[in-house]
C-alpha cells in the first residue's frame, strides 16, 4: 500500500458544509472527493477543467442574465427551436 499523507486547507465554513451535503448525495466523503480531484490533476497534467477570464462579450452576457435582462422564455422546446431557426 502506498504511503499516505495528510493535506490540509482552510475552507469557508458555508462552502464546506454545502459541498459536504452535495457529496453526501453522491455517496462520497470529502476525503474521497479530494483523492479523486488529485488523481484527475495527475491524469490531466493540470486542473481537470479550464479556468479563464471571460472576454468582455461573455462577461456582459453574464451581467445581463444576472440582472434578468435580455432573457427569453419559451413554453416548450418547439418554440425554442423555432426561435433558434432549427
Residue 30: per-residue pLDDT: 97
* Nearest of 23, 48, 24, 50 to residue 37 by alpha carbon: 48
Could you write out the three-class secondary structure of 2-67? Answer: CCCCCCCCCCCHHHHHHHHHHHHHCCCCHHHHHHHHHHHHHHHCCCCCCCCCCCHHHHHHHHHHHC
Specify the pLDDT at position 2.
Answer: 84
Looking at residue 84, what is its pLDDT?
93
The answer on 58 and 18 residing in a single domain is no
Q: 32 and 21 share a domain?
A: yes
Task: Verify that 60 and 36 share a domain, yes or no.
Answer: no
59 shares its domain with 84? yes
Per-residue pLDDT of the chain (86 residues; tens, 9 = 90+): 789 999 999 999 999 999 999 999 999 999 999 999 999 999 999 999 999 898 999 999 999 999 999 999 999 999 999 999 99
Amino acid at each position: 500500500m502506498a504511503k499516505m499523507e495528510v493535506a490540509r486547507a482552510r475552507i469557508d465554513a458555508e462552502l464546506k458544509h454545502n459541498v459536504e451535503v452535495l457529496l453526501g448525495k453522491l455517496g462520497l466523503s470529502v476525503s474521497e472527493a479530494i483523492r479523486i480531484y488529485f488523481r484527475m490533476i495527475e491524469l490531466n497534467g493540470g486542473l481537470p477543467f479550464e479556468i479563464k477570464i471571460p472576454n468582455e462579450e461573455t462577461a456582459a452576457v453574464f451581467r445581463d442574465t444576472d440582472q434578468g435582462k435580455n432573457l427569453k422564455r419559451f413554453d416548450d422546446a418547439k418554440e425554442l427551436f423555432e426561435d433558434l431557426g432549427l
